Structure 1
Amino acid sequence: MDIVLDVLNRLRGHLLSSSSPMARPTKVLQCDSTSISFSDDSDSPYISDLDTSNAIHTASKLLHDLQPVAFPTETVYGLGALALDTTAASRIFSTKGRPPDNPLIVHVSSQAMLRRVLPPEYRVSRTYEVLMKHFWPGALTLLFPTDPGLVPPIITANQPTVAVRMPSHPVARALIAVADAPIAAPSANSSGKPSPTKAEHVLKDLDGKIDLILDGGACGVGLESTVVDGLNPDGNLRVLRPGGITVEDLERVLREEFQDEVSTPKVLVHRRDYTDEIMEEAPTTPGMKYRHYSPSVPVILMFTSSAPPPHDERISYTSFLESLRSRKPSGADTIKIGLLIPSDSPSLEKFRDTQGIEWCLYQMGRIDDPSITAQRLFDGLLSSERDGADVILIEEVKEEREGLAVMNRVKKAAGEYVWLEQ
């Protein structure tokens, strides 16, 4: 009798597994960004390429079927769902494995659509009008008051503000406009991993978890948007997350637009110019509370110009390389190391030593052009992981212009810091 029951149970298990749905491979549809345009007097896109138009309409239908889709923005690839539908938004969290207290950014395609997510009585400040005039569409996210009757609390993590931006990537903006709905979209990757800047990055991570990726090529900025809070009583701007729009850009525009005013709003950077422990525990914007941007292998941030803190000391390159050799996998003759470093770094010559080391070099652009470093950062991390690196090294850049955003991401990705002798 026990044997019969065992056979029946095995047969039942086989039938259940056979009838369970299999994950379908994710479809990737190419989009020609150059075929998309917006006129000054219309929020609707003109799409001259039929395949691109069909791809965007297919994605729009999936969104309205409450399914998330991945699409390119100028910053990184986003995983989008209808922002004003709780069920749709919840599928972003389940697909990414995202903590529920990590809010989402809402993307709109026009000023008219912005009004649809704001409380009816809210009036946009002059400072925000200036910022939107200069940086929308673009890589700038602004915090606005939220009405939980309009924007589901799952989007804001029950915070009193909602983060909104208008992307400048033609595919992103066209998708939002065609869907005729605000789209919530964090980066299209498993939570905590480096953000994707190419469709192939998304496919490698989320294949079978989503139905569709719109492939609009590599992202131009390469880092997430700058998030700004301008709702403070003092009238100053607080940069909660540095990104594609630099602090210097913000300061320049405010100086120009407020030159005839009594005072110009200041631009204050979180953890550089001020701290807010309460907000860090209950963040109003993504990327503040949790460790982010980390590949599956250890990342070491190398400080080559910054002074070490009091409890740390500089070590020689020779000692550092020896410590890396000691990490080689058991039974291996060498250790494979991903090296993300400026193409003109003085340190580059120090890493020519190949004894026991196989280098995977990813040049991050010139030291004086941090925008290229920003553009290549996530691709360098993901490429190092793809190429089988055992350890990834990243050399620091100056925290100026896009370098501020680069170091913000690198410090969160790195599990170890080392200060090297100059």
Structure 2
Amino acid sequence: MASKYAAGYRGILRELRKSLDPSRKVNTDIKSHFRAVVENARQHPSDQALVDLDNTILFLKSQREHKRLLERYNPLHDLTEPERLKATANRVGLNMPKLHSDPLGQPIFASPDTIVVLKTAAHQLNTLHRTVVFPTETVYGLGAVATNAEAAAKIFATKSRPADNPLIVHVSSLEMLETLLPPGYEYTKAYRALIKHFWPGALTLLFPRNSDIIPNIITAGQASVAIRMPSHPVARALIAVSNSPLAAPSANTSGKPSPTKAEHVARDLSGKVPIIIDGGACGVGLESTVVDGLHEDGNIRVLRPGGITVEQIRQALEEEYQGGESVPKVLVHKRDYQDEEMEAAPTTPGMKYVHYSPAVPVTLLSTLSNPPSGTTRQPVRSFLRQISATRPHPPKIGVLAPSDSGIWKEIVACEGPSWHRFALGPISNPSLSAKRLFDGLLTLEAEGVDFILIEEIAETHEGLAVMNRVRKAAGEMVWLDYV
């Protein structure tokens, strides 16, 4: 019996040695701990004690194998041409609540792997003038140095993006922002309020363009430039390490849904980008809100709804304007005002071209908004049976809808099609619907559905941004009713 315990102890020491670099020795305190555990088991022998020893060895072996696999798939290993960097969520510091800096403003990293990954990416950006895919809190971005026209041109080529579709510039600090603005520029009170409340975060502001710094290609020749400071620690750290503002639209072929996971990017742009930094799923899931506060009337115009809601913007302005001051109005493009001239020559992305469309047809199921005059609502069940009969049989139909929608019960009652379900979250939680929308579109597309049905949600809070994307993605709209 004693020899079995001795063998167990030797097995533990063997696994501990294998887990270390050959130049290092096992810590004596750890050795003493395991020796005491084994000695106690020897003095009180039992079958369970031997099982516990075997499980200890198995655990140490599993830990060693886990470490080996992490190193094997570390993004710094096996870089090929074109290089593709994939950094795991833990390695890129996603647990940091904010970007920590030293007194000189340089980011502080908990892991040495993180800084090496970011310096490798920065080399691609600054020295080779190539693009890099990186995570933000909104969607994954395809970045290039914003002050370099040659580098920015590679964004347009990679995405097949129209040249008159401007880019958003990303900065890591207010100091970097100020280097991009015209000399002597002063923030308006409204902009100071929005920056105070929402930066870093999913809010983009239009500023006057300094033509000596920002190339024409970034703004599509417009007199303003869209700039934001992302809150994602990896995005801000990459910008800080690069010491360069990054122009970065979503990292997808132009017109397709924006990627919210690294695998979305890999499926779409594989072979077209040198580096993908994998930071896990994006927390917001929709692009940033774009605001224009440059008009003489002082009002805030929301050109593109996004991760920061109109309600949040309005509340922030009301908090900052006190003592009878006139609070700027918050106007939403196409809801509160029209600007045909800007739509023809947009100052921000997402205003002119078809966007967010997967490779299969999308139909919007309107169950909330009023139908056009003369249009009668159709029962949901009748519509589902109709499309089941008229499509190639049996069709594969993708459905995106709130998790507590009545459509799921109707689907169960409609036999024949192969239903592919993707719940957007409860009706009461539009922020979750925002986070899951693009993932749902891309997931259903990857599952090979013939077409996708998306149910309408209320256009309040994040629902405004969700429906902005859905209406652009949908090629057809039908008005339905639950009866």
The TM-score normalised by the length of structure 1 is 0.92
Pick closer, same or farther for the CA change 1:346–1:90 going to 2, 3 Å. Answer: same
- Aligned positions of 1:3-402 closer than 5 A: 24=82, 26-30=84-88, 31-34=92-95, 37-39=99-101, 43-64=105-126, 65-329=128-392, 333-402=393-462
CA offset at residue 23 of structure 1? 7.3
Higher relative contact order structure (alpha carbons within 8 Å, sequence separation ≥ 6): 1
SS at match of 1:252: helix
CA offset at residue 121 of structure 1? 2.4
> CA separation in 1, counterparts of 2:145 and 2:246?
5
- Give the partner amino acid of 2:407: S
2:478 aligned partner: 418
The answer (yes or no) to whether the contact 2:93–2:110 under 8 Å persists in 1 is no
The answer for unaligned runs of 5 or more in structure 1 is 1-21
CA offset at residue 184 of structure 1? 0.2
SS at match of 1:28: coil
Matched-pair identity in %: 58
> CA separation in 2, counterparts of 1:338 and 1:247?
30
> CA separation in 1, counterparts of 2:480 and 2:473?
19
> CA separation in 1, counterparts of 2:404 and 2:294?
42
> CA separation in 2, counterparts of 1:270 and 1:414?
19
- Give the partner amino acid of 1:33: L
**Which string of whole-angstrom CA distances, capped at 9 and with x for unpartnered residues, describes residues 172-195 of structure 1?**
000000000110000000000000
The answer (yes or no) to whether the contact 2:380–2:407 under 8 Å persists in 1 is no
SS at match of 2:150: helix
> CA separation in 1, counterparts of 2:355 and 2:229?
23
Which has the higher Rg, Structure 1 or Structure 2?
2
1:9 aligned partner: none
2:43 aligned partner: none
CA offset at residue 353 of structure 1? 3.0
SS at match of 1:99: coil
1:19 aligned partner: none
SS at match of 1:34: coil
Pick closer, same or farther for the CA change 1:229–1:23 going to 2, 3 Å. Answer: same
> CA separation in 1, counterparts of 2:185 and 2:177?
12
The answer (yes or no) to whether the contact 2:299–2:331 under 8 Å persists in 1 is yes
The answer (yes or no) to whether the contact 1:23–1:208 under 8 Å persists in 2 is no
- Give the partner amino acid of 1:29: A
Instruction: Select the structure that is richer in strand.
Output: 1
- Give the partner amino acid of 1:95: T
CA offset at residue 315 of structure 1? 1.4
The answer (yes or no) to whether the contact 1:75–1:244 under 8 Å persists in 2 is yes
The answer (yes or no) to whether the contact 2:317–2:327 under 8 Å persists in 1 is yes
The TM-score normalised by the length of structure 2 is 0.80
> CA separation in 2, counterparts of 1:166 and 1:25?
27
CA offset at residue 122 of structure 1? 1.4
> CA separation in 2, counterparts of 1:39 and 1:212?
25
SS at match of 2:378: coil
- Give the partner amino acid of 2:403: S
CA offset at residue 311 of structure 1? 4.3
> CA separation in 2, counterparts of 1:250 and 1:390?
39
SS at match of 2:403: coil
SS at match of 2:249: coil
CA offset at residue 327 of structure 1? 4.7
**Which string of whole-angstrom CA distances, capped at 9 and with x for unpartnered residues, describes residues 368-406 of structure 1?**
110000000000000000011111010001000000000
C-alpha RMSD of the superposition: 1.5
The answer (yes or no) to whether the contact 1:343–1:364 under 8 Å persists in 2 is yes
Pick closer, same or farther for the CA change 1:315–1:44 going to 2, 3 Å. Answer: same
CA offset at residue 323 of structure 1? 3.0
**Which string of whole-angstrom CA distances, capped at 9 and with x for unpartnered residues, describes residues 301-351 of structure 1?**
00112110114321122331233224533xxx4111111010111232112
Instruction: Select the structure that is richer in helix.
Output: 2
CA offset at residue 53 of structure 1? 1.5
SS at match of 1:215: coil
> CA separation in 2, counterparts of 1:318 and 1:38?
54
The answer (yes or no) to whether the contact 1:299–1:414 under 8 Å persists in 2 is yes
2:54 aligned partner: none
What is the count of residue pairs matched by the alignment? 398
**Which string of whole-angstrom CA distances, capped at 9 and with x for unpartnered residues, describes residues 69-122 of structure 1?**
000000000000000000000000000000000000000000000011111121
Pick closer, same or farther for the CA change 1:42–1:23 going to 2, 3 Å. Answer: closer
The answer (yes or no) to whether the contact 1:298–1:390 under 8 Å persists in 2 is yes
**Which string of whole-angstrom CA distances, capped at 9 and with x for unpartnered residues, describes residues 121-167 of structure 1?**
21111110111011000000000000222100100000010000000
> CA separation in 2, counterparts of 1:199 and 1:416?
29
- Give the partner amino acid of 2:466: V
> CA separation in 2, counterparts of 1:405 and 1:197?
16
